[in-house]
Amino acid sequence: MQKIKKFSARTVNLPNEDIDTDQIIPARFLTRQTTDGIGKCLFADWRFDKSGRPKEDFILNQPESSDAEILVAGNNFGCGSSREHAAWSLLDYGFRAIISTSFADIFQNNSLKNGLITIAVNLETHKWLLEHPATTLIVDLDNTQICLENGKVISFPIDSFARYCLLNGVDQLGYLLNHDTEISAYENKQQ
Amino acid sequence: MQTAPKTLFDKIWEQHVVVPETEDTPAILYIDLHLIHEVTTPQAFSLLRENNLKVRTPQKVLATMDHSTPTVPIASLKDLDIVSESGPAQQIRDMIQNCKDFDIELYGFESKYRGIVHVIGPELGATQPGKTIVCGDSHTSTHGAFGALAFGIGTTEVAHVLATQCLLQRKPRTLAVNLNGKLNEGVSAKDIILKVIGQIGVGGGTGHVIEYRGNTVASLTLEQRMTICNMSIEAGARAGLFAPDEATYEYLDGRPRSPKGKEWDRALKVWKGWQTDTDASFDKEVDIDVSALTPMITYGTNPGMVMSIESTIPDHKGNQSLKKALDYMHFESGKSLLNHPIDVVFIGSCTNSRLSDLRDAATILKGRKIAENMRVLIVPGSQSVKAEAEAEGLDRIFRESGAEWRESGCSMCLGMNGDTVGSGKLAVSTSNRNFEGRQGSGSRTILASPKTAAASAITGSVQDPRQFETQV
């Protein structure tokens, strides 16, 4: 796992509420056996028309969005299917963080395990971000805060263990494997 | 010292904690049953191979294939390429290889027990009260109908469970949904859960485990409870739960993986303890008057955009998400959907593909014909359900009505196996998600119960099933 501490990036707004993982990546792309190049499938039915041409009116296809690495989305982002392909496709496309007012549980879990930071903000900050498209933010994971272009600093909640793993590049599977003794003891007790 | 009263969820959680949660670290939770299917496991198996890891407890893994499998009959796996595209076909072959390489028993193509993972777990008796059950599939919540703590996980977590039989988890909060009153004729469990989602919203259960309680519960069959738990995730909940009762034990008695003889007696004693204590409190509570329910239908692009079939589509009041949803559906605020023409009816999915669902549809389709130019696809949840339905002659009723009767699988619910609604077409579907394009690119979906779907198939338009005389 790559360590993540602090980065600065531009935002792009997708204010729809309840964006589900079927929109993030439609089911027909779930037959892939690896995650390589999966960013091509991100928001496929919103980005491309039936013949595969980019839809000009979709925000990610507009020139000013080309270098955006933070997605500002509407409430309850990532609801629906548990497909981790959603987090993989957002990352592979180039996003490093998603900002919303809330996230669906499984999507949030999947994202943090892959180094995609989910940042839940209050309505006021969310509104400011939507009113200031393509703004540049600093995401400071060490201090669990984002710094807006207007100088405002806003704290965001993140699970302390997820934060520790991201900051130190710790693999959660390795952490679990290190508890083999406790797992075996539990199994013996149950028998 | 007196211990504080606990909820059923608290009890199952505590029983499975290997290492307790602290401020800095989540709990390590032991998983009793790991269900796997072909779509959310390939990268997990790759992770095991890369790290030279084995599956810790293969006997606690139950594998099947359902999402990518075709529902048109084929004589053997050799014929897969005739009916399937290369992606799904390869995924099926890889699943067979992965299970072989890691010593996991697979209910594969030739198995008479093959089917949708959330249908076969209970059918086999693998789903039992008090167990922790996970699967790389959000509808794992289905198994909560038996008093098991069951929830969906991502592929990285699938690898965690394969390698360690454990998960890192923060303890969720609890939500009691109190169901009271008697279900009216023509109204079903699907209508109950659609009502719940409509009331609390698609994010209303986020971070919570729901326990369904109240005086309606005793009258609900296990199949009805599965439908309700199945769609708990559509309200954002981690899991749905019903405390086990006599109906649960009766369902499990004699199933292939249920305990036998003295083991059964011992299990029963333990299972009876999986109840919420009388004075236990929940973080949130919601009340639903079941006796006031009518058939429910969705009008938008998530399951929370739902109304009584007698109602009219609400005003979007400037809500851009609802406006966008209505534009996508080609629906208008203020209009009723009764008699609105449809193109397709799908009866199936892990929500509504069990024998009782098919019987519900058959009571309406018996002796009637589906409307001209309609496509009606009826897909049993498992090969066992298929065999049982055929033994009762339900397949004949369906075929004589003009519907297609298929092999088991997820089919048109998510449109990744060859079964799709078609771009721009409108379906009444007994599945669980009406997201944009969920049933294939450009598809439009109205979620409803099997009875509502069957009634709509006959006229080729949205219909209230209560106006149809049912044939038993």
Q: Is residue B21 within 8 Å of B294, Cβ to Cβ?
A: no
Among candidates A113, A173, A31, which has minimal Cα distance to B37? A31
Are residues B211 and B254 part of one domain? yes
Question: Model confidence over B76-124: pLDDT tens digits?
Answer: 888 899 899 999 999 999 999 999 999 999 999 889 999 999 999 999 9
CATH value at residue A112: 3.20.19.10
**The pair of three-digit structure tokens given for residue B144, joined into one six-digit string:** 């909560």
Mean pLDDT of B231-237: 98
Please enumerate in sequence order all residues whose Cβ is within 8 A of that of B154, keeping only pairs 6 or more positions apart, or say none: A82, A83, A84, A87, A106, A109, A110, A113, B40, B136
Q: Is the dihedral of CA A73, B207, A121, A159 positive or negative?
A: negative
Domain count, chain B: 3
In a domain, A118, yes or no: yes
How far apart are the C-alpha atoms of B190 and B298, rounded to whole Å? 12
In a domain, A1, yes or no: no
Do B160 and A173 make contact, defined as CB atoms within 8 angstroms? yes
* A188 inside 8 A of chain B by CB: no
Q: What is the mean pLDDT of chain B?
A: 97
In a domain, B245, yes or no: yes
Are residues B161 and B70 part of one domain? yes
CB atoms within 10 A of CB B232: 30
Nearest to B436 among A23, A109, A175 (CB): A23
| Chain B, nearest residue to A82 by Cα | B138
Please enumerate in sequence order all residues whose Cβ is within 8 A of that of B325, keeping only pairs 6 or more positions apart, or say none: B300, B301, B302, B305
Are residues B195 and B338 part of one domain? no
Do B203 and A18 make contact, defined as CB atoms within 8 angstroms? yes
How far apart are the C-alpha atoms of B299 and B26, rounded to whole Å? 40
Nearest to A176 among B24, B166, B440 (CB): B166
Domain count, chain A: 1
Among candidates B266, B257, B197, B265, which has minimal Cα distance to B233? B197
N- to C-terminal Cα separation, chain A: 36
Among candidates B274, B280, B282, which has minimal Cα distance to B244? B274
- pLDDT higher than 80, residue B203: yes
Are residues B306 and B247 part of one domain? no
How many residues does the structure list for chain B? 472
Structure ipTM: 0.97
Chain A nearest C-alpha distance from B185 (Å): 31
The residue range of the domain holding B317 is: 296-467
- % of chain B surpassing 70 pLDDT: 99
The residue range of the domain holding A157 is: 6-190
Are residues B241 and B112 part of one domain? no
Domain boundary among B151, B169, B187: B169
In a domain, B156, yes or no: yes
CB atoms within 10 A of CB B157: 26
Residue B236 with chain A: CB contacts under 8 Å: 76, 79, 104-105
Mean pLDDT of B348-359: 98
Chain B nearest C-alpha distance from A35 (Å): 8
Chain A nearest C-alpha distance from B290 (Å): 26
> A116 or B471, which is more confident?
A116
Q: How many CB pairs under 8 A join A and B?
A: 173
Domain boundary among B169, B191, B218: B169
Mean pLDDT of B434-459: 98
Are residues B402 and B433 part of one domain? yes
| Chain B, nearest residue to A102 by Cα | B203
In a domain, B370, yes or no: yes
- pLDDT higher than 70, residue B440: yes
pLDDT classification of B75: cutoffs 50, 70, 90? confident
In a mutational test of the B interface, the residue from A21, A28, A158 whose CB has the highest number of chain B CBs within 10 Å is A28
Do A82 and B160 make contact, defined as CB atoms within 8 angstroms? no
In a domain, A151, yes or no: yes
Do A16 and B320 make contact, defined as CB atoms within 8 angstroms? yes
Tens of each residue's pLDDT in chain A, 191 residues:
789 999 999 999 999 999 999 999 999 999 988 999 999 999 999 999 999 999 999 999 999 999 999 999 999 999 999 999 999 999 999 999 999 999 999 999 999 999 999 999 999 999 999 999 999 999 999 999 999 999 999 999 999 999 999 999 999 999 999 999 999 999 999 97
Are residues B371 and B283 part of one domain? no
DSSP notation for B432-465: S---TTTTSTT-EEEE--HHHHHHHHHHTB---G
pLDDT at residue B472, rounded to an integer: 62
In a domain, A41, yes or no: yes
Q: Coil, strand or helix: which one is B318?
A: coil
How far apart are the C-alpha atoms of B97 and B195, rounded to whole Å? 43
Are residues B136 and B81 part of one domain? yes
* A164 inside 8 A of chain B by CB: yes
**The pair of three-digit structure tokens given for residue B383, joined into one six-digit string:** 């090969």
How far apart are the C-alpha atoms of B239 and B9, rounded to whole Å? 10
- pLDDT higher than 70, residue B278: yes
Nearest to A161 among B26, B43, B155 (CB): B26
Helix axes B42-50, B86-101, angle to 10 degrees: 40
Among candidates B129, B88, B90, B124, which has minimal Cα distance to B107? B124
Mean pLDDT of B227-238: 98
In a domain, B434, yes or no: yes
pLDDT at residue B30, rounded to an integer: 98
pLDDT at residue B1, rounded to an integer: 58
pLDDT at residue B109, rounded to an integer: 87
Q: What are phi and psi of A17, to 5 degrees?
A: -85, 160
Do A80 and B159 make contact, defined as CB atoms within 8 angstroms? no
Are residues B185 and B149 part of one domain? no
How far apart are the C-alpha atoms of A102 and A74, rounded to whole Å? 8
pTM for the whole structure:
0.97
Please enumerate in sequence order all residues whose Cβ is within 8 A of that of B364, keeping only pairs 6 or more positions apart, or say none: B451, B454, B455, B458, B465, B468, B470, B471
Are residues B120 and B93 part of one domain? yes
Q: Is residue A180 within 8 Å of A14, Cβ to Cβ?
A: no
Q: Is residue B374 within 8 Å of B345, Cβ to Cβ?
A: yes
Q: Is the dihedral of CA A134, A137, A141, A143 positive or negative?
A: negative
Domain boundary among B291, B325, B346: B291
Spell out a b/e string for A109-129, using b for 16 or more CB atoms within 10 Å of the CB, else e: bbbbbbbbbbbbbeeebbebb
- % of chain B surpassing 90 pLDDT: 96
- pLDDT higher than 80, residue B12: yes
In a domain, B3, yes or no: no
**The pair of three-digit structure tokens given for residue B363, joined into one six-digit string:** 């009571």
In a domain, A171, yes or no: yes
| Chain B, nearest residue to A29 by Cα | B416
Are residues B137 and B41 part of one domain? yes
Chain B nearest C-alpha distance from A21 (Å): 9
CATH value at residue B102: 3.30.499.10
Nearest to A18 among B30, B164, B202 (CB): B202
Are residues B305 and B430 part of one domain? yes
CATH value at residue B241: 3.40.1060.10
Residue B39 with chain A: CB contacts under 8 Å: 30-31, 83
- C-alpha R_g of chain B: 22
Do B87 and A31 make contact, defined as CB atoms within 8 angstroms? yes
pLDDT at residue B78, rounded to an integer: 86
* A143 inside 8 A of chain B by CB: no
In a domain, B2, yes or no: no
- In B320-382, which residue ranges form alpha helices assigned H by DSSP? 320-329, 355-365
* A101 inside 8 A of chain B by CB: no
- pLDDT higher than 90, residue B218: yes
Q: Order across the sheet with A117-120: list the strands.
A: A117-120, A97-100, A68-73, A6-14, A136-140, A145-147, A153-155
Helix axes B383-391, B355-365, angle to 10 degrees: 40
Cα dihedral B240→B128→B274→B19 (10° resolution): -80
